[in-house]
Structure 1
Amino acid sequence: MTTGWRRRFDPLAALPAAIAVIMIGVYLALIRAQDGEVAGLFLGGMALAALLAIYAVARHAPLRRSALAVSGAVMAVLGFFGILTIGLPILVAGVVALVDVAGSTKPTR
C-alpha cells in the first residue's frame, strides 16, 4: 500500500531535480573560483531542466511525463557535453529522469 505522500509525490523525480539544483550551485562556485565566465546556455538549460523536474515531482500534475522527459533529455545532453568536468552527475540525473518516465504510468484520478 502506498502512503499518502508517495501517492502525491514521486521521490524518483525528486532526485534529478535535487541533483540539477545542486549542480547549478557547484557550477557557479567553480566558475567563480576560476574567475571564469558563466556559460549562459548551460546555466539556462540546467535551470529549465531543474524547474521541469521540480514540476514533475507532483504525480497528478498535467503534462508531468512530458516535463520529466524534456528535463531528462536536457540533462542527458548537457551532462554528455560536460562529461570531462561536472557532467557525470548531470548525465546520471538525466538518465534517472528518463527511466522514471519510461517506468511511470498515467495517474488514476
Structure 2
Amino acid sequence: MASGLRRGWDPLAAVTALIVLIMMGLYVGFVAQQDGQVLAWFLGALALAALLAIYSAVRTALWRGLALTVSGVILTVVGILGILSIGLPILVAGVLALVGAARSQHDRL
C-alpha cells in the first residue's frame, strides 16, 4: 500500500503551488488597485517557487527534495519580507514546502 503512495502526487507540494499561484494573482490585483508598480523580483521569486513546487508535486521527480527545499526557503524569505501585507499565506506555503521536503527524504528510504 505504501508503494502506491510513493508513485502519485504529493499533496503538500501541490497545495504549496496552489497557494503561491493564488497569492501571485492577489498581489498583482492589490498593486493594480493601488495604482502601484509590481516588484519584478518579488513576483519572479514567487514564480520560481511555484514552478519548483509544481515540479516537486510528482513523487517520482528527480531532485524532488532539493526542489521543494529551495521553494520552501524562497517562500519563507519572501513571506517574512511581505509579512505586513500578503506574507502570511506565503510563509505558510514555505513551511508546507519544507515539511514536504523533509517527507520526501523519508519516502526515499
- Check whether TM > 0.5: yes
Specify every segment of 5 or more residues in structure 2 that has no aligned partner in the other structure, as ranges. none
Matched, 1:87 2:87: yes
CA RMSD of the aligned region, Å? 1.7
**Separation of aligned partners in 2, 1:14 and 1:3:** 19
Tell me how far apart the structure 2 counterparts of residues 50 and 56 of structure 1 sit (CA, whole Å). Answer: 10
Report the Cα offset of residue 25 of structure 1.
Answer: 0.2
Structure 1 residue aligned with 2:45: 45
Alpha-carbon distance in structure 2 between the residues aligned to 1:48 and 1:57? 14
Q: Do 1:76 and 1:95's aligned partners in 2 also have CA atoms closer than 8 Å?
A: yes
> Where do 1:46-65 residues align within 5 Å?
46-65=46-65
> Retained in 2: the 8 A contact 1:59–1:107?
no
2:18 maps to amino acid: A
98-107 vs 36-45, which moves further:
98-107
The number of residues matched between the two structures is 108
Stretches of structure 1 that go unaligned for 5 or more consecutive residues are none
The offset of 1:58, in angstroms, is 0.3
SS in 1 for 2:80: helix
Corresponding residue for residue 99 of structure 2: 99
In structure 2, what is the equivalent of residue 18 of structure 1? 18
- Residue 35 of structure 1 corresponds to 35
Question: Is the helix fraction higher in 1 or 2?
Answer: 2
| Alignment-mate amino acid for residue 76 of structure 1 | T
Amino acid aligned to 2:29: A
SS of structure 2 residue aligned to 1:84: coil
Identity within the alignment, %: 55
- Find the aligned partners of 2:72 and 2:34 in 1 and give their Cα distance: 28
